[in-house]
């Protein structure tokens, strides 16, 4: 199943959730890519390279990272180290079969397995989280 033009704001099966996780971050010194569980993540110099509490890795654009994470004291924002996700609501829906979605318009193609969660951070801004991780880190908002 391919989610090209879905909008979870119109989906009765979707609900609002907030993530609660402390992650380790290194800011990229050059453009590159890393392979996450869901697919290739391309990034630019200055973007956040995140290692989650379960050891999984992904990239987050710098502007999006700055809005969604805060450093743990005494770390200064923008320095490599430990950050906590802000409890900002996202729309999420569990998908019963394997599926794909692009992180953004013309962005990286992500692949979800059956029962993974499709997340909509904003219109056209997507993510996928495996079921076990979602249940451990997300709470109804």
pLDDT for residue 6: 82
Q: What's the total number of domains in the chain?
A: 2
The pTM assigned to this predicted structure is 0.90
| % of residues, the chain, pLDDT over 90 | 87
Which of 69, 90, 87 is CA-nearest to residue 78? Answer: 69
Please tell me the distance from the alpha carbon of residue 99 to that of residue 24, in angstroms, as a whole number: 28
Query: Are residue 63 and residue 99 in the same domain, yes or no?
Result: no
90 pLDDT more than 90: yes
pLDDT for residue 1: 74
DSSP 109-141: EEEE-TT-EEEEEETTEEEEE-HHHHHHHEEE-
Please tell me the distance from the alpha carbon of residue 41 to that of residue 17, in angstroms, as a whole number: 23
Average pLDDT along the chain: 94
107 pLDDT more than 90: no
Show the domain range for 5: 1-20+88-141
27 pLDDT more than 80: yes
Average pLDDT over residues 91-96: 97
**Residue 31 pLDDT level (bands cut at 50, 70, 90):** very high
Average pLDDT over residues 64-69: 94
Query: Are residue 32 and residue 55 in the same domain, yes or no?
Result: yes
Q: Are 83 and 19 in contact (CB under 8 A)?
A: no
User: Residue ranges of the alpha helices (H) in the chain?
Assistant: 62-68, 131-137
Query: Are residue 38 and residue 61 in the same domain, yes or no?
Result: yes
């Amino acid at each position: 199943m391919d989610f090209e033009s879905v909008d979870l704001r119109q989906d009765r099966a979707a609900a609002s959730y907030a993530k609660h996780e402390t992650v380790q971050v290194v800011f990229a010194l050059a453009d590159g890519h890393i392979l996450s569980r869901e697919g290739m993540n391309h990034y630019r110099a200055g973007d956040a390279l995140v290692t989650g509490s379960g050891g999984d890795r992904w990239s987050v654009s710098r502007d999006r990272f700055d809005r969604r994470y805060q450093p743990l004291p005494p770390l200064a924002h923008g320095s490599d180290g430990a950050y906590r996700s802000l409890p900002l609501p996202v729309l999420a829906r569990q998908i019963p079969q394997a599926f794909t979605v692009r992180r953004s318009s013309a962005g990286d193609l992500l692949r979800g397995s059956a029962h993974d969660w499709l997340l909509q951070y904003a219109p056209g801004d997507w993510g996928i989280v495996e079921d076990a991780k979602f249940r451990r880190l997300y709470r109804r908002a």
